[in-house]
Amino acid sequence: MDQIVQQLNKSHNVLLASHVNPDGDAIGSLIALGLALDEMGKKVVLYNESPIPAVYRFLPGVERIQHHLDVSARYDAAILLDCSNLDRVGSVADVICRFPVIINVDHHYTNNGFGHYHLISPSACATAEIVYGLVKALGISFSTAMATSIYTGILTDTGSFRFSNTNRSAFVICDEMVGLGVKPDEIAQHVYGTYSLGRLKLLNLALDSIEISSNGELALMVLTQEVMAKTETDVCDADGLINYARSIENVKLAVMIQEAPQNGQGAQGVGGFNVSLRSNGSVDAAAIASLFGGGGHFTAAGFYIDAPLLEVKRRLKDIASNLEQWEPTACLLPKRPASVAMNARR
Ligand code: AMP
Ligand code: MN
Ligand code: MN
């Protein structure tokens, strides 16, 4: 933390970036830290390759996020947020890897330790929790705008304080953010209370696509481009639908196979499938995702695969027949307190 603070104190031009297909944590962390560095008088560019989902467009400062990077500009440092590896940032990874200073701020236990400085805490409920600590260490006070982004990051990554990553810090930090003027009801209304008709139609078709493995332990959901076109929805509308599959009784692992758009927008690759995994806690979703070159958390993970749909399904069903193999091993459980884990390099 001290080294990163020193590094940022002497940097003038800083690039902040988070992962493709951003969620509330990727966007909230980006904005909160961006506004803090603004306060310090830094020249800051906020970057995300993908469009911002409509539900997050209310965040104050969201208009600062750029989707194109001027590759000829000179930066003293890049801060990568909520990215378990550098490629998660999308096509600009090749440019960023040549930056003189890369700072990796993340909470995925599968983080591969890229970059020169690391603030990686697998026990943090969200990257926003780590950003909160960094902003404090930088000596910047939270504006209501920054607080709104931190709150949204924690709210969404903990599934509204329901997932197993919900820790005491989630409540302590959110309590402080509410004290700074954050309105929980307004944020909840923006994030969860406003659905397009298309999204509801998509939900209908997504529920219809559910298949259960023969042992009842795996639920598979498929969203094709055809279905997205029919309902006039995009990748952002699919966010959270997998939780319906996860909530089916006896299901240990829910899978959503989502066909990536042919134009590559909002996806990790062109064509192919983005696969999301959600576990009920009895199997390690991140370990399964790693098998396919992806990563994530114990209970929420993902990967990209370029293979025919039938093959993707077959490989996942093979895993379903042997889920005991993916039960957690004690060493992977985040047991250490945040203060210790914060320094851990993964
Ligand atoms: P999602 O299912 O897209 O909401 O992602 C669930 C978790 O898995 C998030 O923490 C992501 O950062 C992570 N994840 C998703 N896709 C990938 C990928 N291709 N590579 C590494 N991590 C991923
Ligand atoms: Mn994320
Ligand atoms: Mn996150």
pLDDT, tens only, 10-56: 999 999 999 999 999 999 999 999 999 999 999 999 999 999 998 99
% residues pLDDT > 70 (the chain):
92
Length of the chain: 346
Across 227-254, average pLDDT: 93
pLDDT at position 67 over 70: yes
Provide Rg for the chain, Cα atoms. Answer: 19
Please give the angle made by the CA atoms of 251, 255 and 256, to the nearest 5 degrees: 135
In which order are the strands placed within the sheet that holds 253-259? 211-212, 218-223, 253-259, 273-279, 300-305, 295-296
**Rounded to an integer, what distance in angstroms lies between the CA atom of residue 295 and that of residue 29?**
19
Task: Name the residue of 91, 255, 297, 305 whose CB sits within 8 Å of the most ligand 1 atoms, as the mutation to test its pocket.
Answer: 297
**Rounded to an integer, what distance in angstroms lies between the CA atom of residue 190 and that of residue 16?**
25
Question: pTM for the complete prediction?
Answer: 0.88
- Can you give the pLDDT at residue 269? 52
Cβ neighbours for 156, distance < 8 A, ≥ 6 positions apart = 23, 24, 25, 28, 126, 191
CA of 304 relative to ligand 1 center, distance in Å: 9
- CA dist 77 to 9, 10, 87, 324, Å? 11, 10, 17, 44
CA of 283 relative to ligand 2 center, distance in Å: 20
- Can you give the pLDDT at residue 71? 86
